Amino acid sequence: MLVSAEHDPRRTGTIWALNLDEPSALITPRMPVTFGRCGSESAALLSEVMGCITPEAIIQRFEAGRQCYIAWAGNDLAAYAWVSFDEEFVSEFNLRIRLLPGEAYIWDCLTFPGFREHRLYSGLLAYVASQLREQELCRVWICTDGENVPSQRGIARAGFSHVADLIVSRVLAMRFVYVQGQPEIPDSLISETRRVFLDNRDNVWLSALSGVHG
C-alpha cells in the first residue's frame, strides 16, 4: 500500500546492527574514563542522574533482565547505555521490538553534557559490544532518530552498520510504519530488521497513541 506525501509529517529512525562475530572497533576516549556494568545496587544513583525515573523503576528494569553499562570519569558518572534482550518498547517510535535468543538491543543512552564529544558514547557502545560478545550473543541492534547526527556518528564509529530506516508517517489518527533497507544491505538482513522492528510484517498501522499490537 502506498501512502501519499499529503499524509506526512514523517519521522525517520535509523536502524543499525552489529554482528558480534566481527571484531569490535577500537576507540580511545579523549579523556580518562572507566567503562563497566552496574546492577540494582546503583538504582538510586541511576535514578538521580537519569532524572524522571524512580529507583523502583530502575530496579524493575534490572529484574526484567536488562543490563546497564556506564562510563566513569573519576567520581562522575559520565555516560550510560541500557541493553535489553527478548523485547523492548521503543518510545520514540511507539514500537515494540522483539528479539531472538542471541540478540540484544541497546537503548536509552546518554552522555552528560559536560562530557560530550570525548568519544565516551562511541567508546561505551564498543565496550557494550565487547561485553555482549563475551556473553555469547551474536547480534546487537540500535536505533536512533534520523535527525540525531551525534548519535549516528557515534554508532557508526563503534562499528555498527546502518541497515535500514524506519519511516513513520502520520495518517489522520493513525501512523503507518515501514522499514526501508539501505541499498547495499543484503535482503536477508533487511528481513531480519523487519522481524525485529515490525514483527515480521512489511508495514504496520498503529494508533497515533499506542504501540504495535499483537
Ligand X SMILES: CC(C)(COP(=O)(O)OP(=O)(O)OC[C@H]1O[C@@H](n2cnc3c(N)ncnc32)[C@H](O)[C@@H]1OP(=O)(O)O)[C@@H](O)C(=O)NCCC(=O)NCCS
**Chain residues 110-129 in contact with ligand X, contact rule CB under 6 A:** 110-111, 116-122
Check residue 11 for interaction with ligand X (CB under 6 A): no
Range in contact with ligand X (rule: CB under 6 A) among 12-20, 56-64, 104-112, 169-177:
104-112
Range in contact with ligand X (rule: CB under 6 A) among 3-11, 13-21, 44-52, 107-115:
107-115
Residues in binding contact with ligand X, number by CB under 6 A: 19
**Chain residues 54-93 in contact with ligand X, contact rule CB under 6 A:** 79
- Nearer Cβ to ligand X, position 137 or 158? 158
Check residue 153 for interaction with ligand X (CB under 6 A): yes
Q: Which of 90, 109, 140, 204 binds ligand X (CB under 6 A)?
A: 109
CB of 127 vs ligand X, minimal distance in Å: 12
Q: If DSSP states are collapsed to H, E and C, what string results for the chain?
A: CCCCHHHCCEEEEEEEEEECCCCCCCCCCCCCCEEEEECHHHHHHHHHHHCCCCHHHHHHHHHCCCEEEEEEECCEEEEEEEEECCEEEECCCCEEEECCCCEEEEEEEEECHHHCCCCHHHHHHHHHHHHHHHCCCCEEEEEEECCCHHHHHHHHHCCCEEEEEEEEEEECCEEEEEEEECCCCCHHHHHHHHHHHHCCCCEEEEECCCCCCC
Check residue 97 for interaction with ligand X (CB under 6 A): no
Which spans of this chain sit near ligand X (rule: CB under 6 A)? Answer: 79, 109-111, 116-122, 144, 148-151, 153-154, 157
